[in-house]
Amino acid sequence: MRVSPQKLNPPNSNMNVAPLVDVVLVLLIVFMVLTPLLEKNIAVQISENSLVESIEDMPEGQLLVSLDKTGRLYLNQQNVEDKDYVLRLRSVLAARNNPAERVVFFSADGQANYEKVVFALEGARQAGAVALGMLTTPVGNAPHPPSSVEENTHPSSLFNSSTLQNKVELP
């Protein structure tokens, strides 16, 4: 008895979607597991006290790192090159014997590159800063970059309300 091949395997026009569904579910599970691992967080200690200290003048000898919208760094009033920033800040902080005096405040222009802000903060940590503070408004006697920078480009020119300082303790 002879069997013809057409009778054993007739053409099937239906698409088998089971393997496709399996692959999609595996990919979904992989992405669900990996997505939380991709987030990079910076640990920040926020005080439980809702009152924020307001000061009119910057304390004498306080370090202020400013970043203008062009990406130039200033340590108090002096322009600092990126390559010299950590070394220069380290030498200033090393001269302070009391760790409580190793506080660095930052003032960044709202249009400054985020990467440069992170560079400045990380550089201060590497230089030995014990605490970092962000100035969200200018302080009356805070040092400003030299006037050779075009007017109103200093970060403090963007703010005009009372002074707010947030201090973050480093691990």
> How many angstroms separate the CA atoms of 63 and 44, rounded?
21
For 28-57, the pLDDT digits (tens) are 999 999 888 877 666 666 666 655 555 556
Q: How many domains does the chain have?
A: 1
pLDDT tier, 58 (very low <50, low <70, confident <90, very high otherwise) = low
Neighbouring residues of 103: CB distance < 8 A, sequence distance ≥ 6: 62, 63, 129, 130, 131, 132, 133, 167
**Rg of the Cα atoms in the chain:** 29
In-domain check, residue 132: yes
102: domain range?
Answer: 63-169
In-domain check, residue 48: no
This model's pTM is above 0.85: no
Residue 25 pLDDT > 90, yes or no? yes
Residues 154-165 have a mean pLDDT of 41
In-domain check, residue 16: no
In-domain check, residue 165: yes
In-domain check, residue 30: no
